[in-house]
Structure formats: C-alpha cells, structure tokens
Amino acid sequence: MILTAFLVLIFAPIGVSAASYFLSDRASANWYAADRSSAGVLPQASGHADALVRIYAARTVRWRGIVAVHSWIVFKDKGASRYSRYDYTAWGEPIRVNGFIADGRWFGQVPDEVFRADGEQAAQLIPKIRAAIESYKYRNLGDYRAWPGPNSNTFVAAIIDAVPEMQAVLPPTAIGKDFPYDGEWFGWTPSGTGLRATLGGYFGVTVGWLEGVELNVLGAVLGVDIRRPAIKIPGIGRIGMSAMPA
C-alpha cells in the first residue's frame, strides 16, 4: 500500500506533465528554430547602472521538458554596458559564455526567476561567482551528461554551493542539481542550511532550512518546503508559495 502510494506520487505528476506537453505546441514545434529572443524580464543593461545577478530556469528542449528545466546565471558589474550569461551545455565548450541573450527564451520557453540580487549585494557576489565558475571541475569537452549530471543544473548548483550568501534554491525540476559535483556523496546543502546525501545523483535525500525535505529518485524530486509552505513533485515542480520572497 505504501509502495503503491509512493509510486503514484512519483509517476502521476510526470504523467500530467507529459499530457500537458503532448497537448501543447511544444510537442510538434521545431525546437531548433524556436524563439530565443529576449523575454523582457531584464532591464536594458546600458540603462541600468547598478550591479545585478540573476538565476533563471526554463523548461528544457523537446520531451525532456516534461520532467526538467535548464538553468543559467546572469550578472553585470556596476556601470557595465552588457550582461554576462553563463550556461553549461552539451554542445561546444561546456561552459558557454554569452551564447544566448541574457534573458532569452529557452527554445521558446519563458524563463522563471530563481534568484535575484541588485546593487551592493550583487557587487559583493559577482567576484565570488566568477571564482566559482573558473574553478568548476567539469569544464572539459565530454564532461557534460544530461542525466544524472553534470549538466546545466549541476553547474548552477555548484555556483550556489560556492557562494552560500546567495541563499538560492533551484526548483525541484532542476534534474542534475543533486549530482555530487564536489565528489562528496554526503555533506552540506548548497545553501549551507542543512545536509544532503546522494548516491551519484541517482538517489538521494536533502534536508535543509532553505531546501526543505527532498527525496531524489532517479533525478525525480518529491518533497516539502516548511519555511515557505509548498510541496515538490516530479514533472510539475513546486506547488504552493514561491521559493523566492516577493
């Protein structure tokens, strides 16, 4: 009975997400030609003098978008006239710099904001973010693996881990975030507010004040957030309060 309920909690939401995908235009669209223009969620860099940091996530390409998002990080130094965007991708050099518009749609999908910092807070974070990117372990051709990682979400999770002041939490659909990018299968959560254990990213448990309680089963996350009440279910993601304060 318990096993049946558990399997329903894992697979039923994925079925709902799959139905939504196949009933939408995403299933038949030419993903390569999909819209990657600005979603208009960032101010014009040239007219925004302050430093800025953002993390975005959007449903990933083709059928993989049923269960997963792609995440990336954007920042701009004070007075800079353009943004710097960093993605971790399966093609070309894994760490892709300004390969896409900073707030561009991810192959047609409008990004959700996962983290934001502006002004002096952003200015203090940027040097640490740069250092985390430069020291990222999986930066060579062939390192990328869509599942269980290291992928785009592993990359962003590692940056969050290296800069715990960000206090950021990736969405439960960020498959790959639980891959052991530091080589450790047990340790602190990326926010530094709890503990996590992972078996190579395939299975794991996370308990943290910011992350809540999460069970990772083959990348699918089932969990609950008590701090900002919400449930986390595979395929659909977070239901309840936003992880980000208004």
Each residue's pLDDT tens digit, 190-225:
888 999 999 999 999 999 999 999 999 999 999 999
Sequence-ordered alpha helix ranges (H) in the chain: 2-22, 119-134, 152-162
**pLDDT at residue 31, as a whole number:** 73
Q: How far apart are CA 180 and CA 212, in angstroms?
A: 19
Q: What is the pLDDT of residue 35?
A: 86
Sign of CA dihedral 108, 112, 114, 115: positive
DSSP state of 38: B
Contact between 150 and 144 under an 8 Å Cβ cutoff? The reply is yes
Per-residue pLDDT of 130-163, as tens digits, reads 999 999 999 999 999 999 999 999 999 999 999 9
CA dist., res. 25 & res. 3, Å (int): 35
pLDDT score recorded for residue 106:
95
pLDDT at 246: 65
Q: Average pLDDT over the chain, rounded to whole?
A: 93
Name the percent of the chain in helix, strand, coil, to the closest 5.
25, 30, 45
DSSP 109: B
Parallel/antiparallel/unpaired status of strands 230-233 and 220-225: antiparallel
Taking the C-alpha atoms of residue 166 and residue 213, their distance in angstroms, rounded to an integer, is 19
Residues pairing with 113 in the sheet = 56
Tens of pLDDT, residue by residue over 79-120, are 999 999 999 999 888 999 999 999 999 999 999 999 999 999
The pair of structure tokens assigned to 136 is 């990222």
Q: What is the distance between the terminal CA atoms of the chain, rounded to a whole angstrom?
A: 40
Q: What is the pLDDT at residue 102?
A: 98
> Do the Cβ atoms of 13 and 233 come closer than 8 Å?
yes
Q: What burial letters (b/e) apply to 87-111, b meaning 16+ CB within 10 Å?
A: bbbeeeebbbeeebebbbbbbbbeb
pLDDT beyond 70 at 124: yes
Full strand arrangement of the beta sheet holding 194-199: 186-188, 194-199, 203-208, 212-217, 220-225, 230-233, 237-240
Residue that wins the pLDDT comparison between 9 and 241:
241
Whether the CA torsion 220, 96, 53, 150 is positive or negative: it is positive
What integer pLDDT is reported at residue 30 of this predicted model? 77
